[in-house]
Amino acid sequence: MKLLFTDIKELLQVRETAVEKLSGEEMKELPTIKNAWLLIEDDKISDFGKMEDLPEIKADETINAQGKIVLPSWCDSHTHIVYAGNREQEFVDRINGLSYEEIANRGGGILNSAKTLQETSEEEVYRQSAQRLEEVMSLGTGAVEIKSGYGLTKEGELKMLRVIKKLKENYPIPIKSTFLGAHALPKEYKGNTAAYIDKVINEILPEVAKEKLAEYIDIFCEQGYFTVEDTHRLLSAAKAYGMKPKIHVNQFHAIGGIQAGVEHEALSVDHLEVMRPEDIESLKNTATMPVALPTCSLYLSIPYTPAREILEAGLPLALATDFNPGSTPSGNMNLVVSLACIKMKMTPEEAINAATINGAYAMDLSETHGSITKGKKANIILTKEIPSYAFLPYAFGTNSIDYVFINGKKVK
């Protein structure tokens, strides 16, 4: 099956030779071809170039993309889209002035989602999660990471991870699975974090590994949640099973989570709303990708990750949604890219690089996804007719996507 796009107004993120990730100054450049063609053969990008050099191609289908832009689909490297129920009542309570503590005392927060998850059947969790996955695919996401973390019991965590596994089997986009058993402390462990970490390490982790349910390990390293010491213990234990860390750090406080992540060769450290100079320093000359989650900052009214400081230090940066029922009930990467420009002062070039190739890196997918490169998977976005690619972040809230293609097939 040969699918040919002709007369593309601009083809974005064209990398003749594949790059692993982009850092600092490199992120300012977004290579493009104006008035381009793109050939997809079966599920892969086969060739591309300028219209004036278009060779004779016998395509099965040709799409005239006049006035439209083509770019690689978004790579969302941090989500919690497998969950049960929603928390819009807490949202309303917050508007009405209730504090987090009051909401938590009423049984809200992560523990609320955990209770609902435990009470919902695996089939129903799958049904709800599949719906969310289909939604984000239609919004241009072509690769995604999904975490557990609303089970907080062995049964609950395994239920979530099995749902992720089933999504992997039934959907064409690459899905990476992360075990986040240490997301919050269950009530019965109050005051005894170490005992819960023991349980995660000794009872849940071995089962997750045995059933091959997760590629990555995660922990919420934060004041009032889990300490740097807990983080070291869990990451060391997970390493024995070959699970690489992708961890929640520096969301509300800088307590040394980044340093712990770097020490354990984390693939990514995520959130980073609160960054000390030594945190930026620790990330230099490492293989760890910093990941910013601007829609979470928007929703919680907390600071945005200091992208300019991170980039000016020569570091890379990826963008992701953090799609979850509590702090970011949205999986819209287009909005993430807009907010990165509006609130974090990233240029459209930097934001698009961060949401494509660097997002792919944060899921070990940069060899196959995240750029327009021959041989990579044909996961692409075809926009509507728009004046330029800067229009994508500029017209925030507008759906500028005409069609999304995954493995060369239209999904929307």
Asked if 181 and 217 touch (Cβ cutoff 8 Å), the reply is no
Q: Give the shortest CB-320-to-Zn ion separation in angstroms.
A: 9
Rounded CA separation 385/388 (Å): 9
Find tokens 């793109």 and name the residue. Answer: 38
76 versus 350: smaller Cβ distance to Zn ion: 76
Residue nearest to Zn ion (CB): 322
Rounded CA separation 347/344 (Å): 9
Beta bridge partners of 244: 216
> Where are the alpha helices (H) located in 245-370, listed in sequence order?
257-263, 277-283, 294-300, 307-312, 333-344, 348-355, 357-361
322 versus 349: smaller Cβ distance to Zn ion: 322
> Quick one: DSSP state of residue 103?
H
Main-chain dihedrals φ then ψ at residue 150, nearest 5 degrees: -110, 15
176 versus 377: smaller Cβ distance to Zn ion: 176
Q: Give the shortest CB-373-to-Zn ion separation in angstroms.
A: 29
263 versus 322: smaller Cβ distance to Zn ion: 322
Find tokens 């992360």 and name the residue. Answer: 178
Q: Give the shortest CB-127-to-Zn ion separation in angstroms.
A: 23
248 versus 377: smaller Cβ distance to Zn ion: 248
38 versus 293: smaller Cβ distance to Zn ion: 293
Question: Cα 181 to the chain's mean position, in Å?
Answer: 18
Q: Give the shortest CB-221-to-Zn ion separation in angstroms.
A: 12
> Quick one: DSSP state of residue 217?
E
Asked if 231 and 223 touch (Cβ cutoff 8 Å), the reply is no
Binding site for Zn ion (CB under 5 A): 322
339 versus 381: smaller Cβ distance to Zn ion: 339
Q: Give the shortest CB-280-to-Zn ion separation in angstroms.
A: 21
Q: Give the shortest CB-225-to-Zn ion separation in angstroms.
A: 12
Indicate the Cα dihedral angle 296, 298, 302, 304, nearest 10°: 80
Q: Give the shortest CB-80-to-Zn ion separation in angstroms.
A: 6
Main-chain dihedrals φ then ψ at residue 231, nearest 5 degrees: -65, -50
Q: Rounded to 5 degrees, what angle do the CA atoms 184, 186, 192 make?
A: 95
Work out the angle between the directed axes of helices 122-138 and 154-170 (0-180°, nearest 10).
50
Rounded CA separation 138/287 (Å): 31
Q: Give the shortest CB-292-to-Zn ion separation in angstroms.
A: 12
9 versus 248: smaller Cβ distance to Zn ion: 248
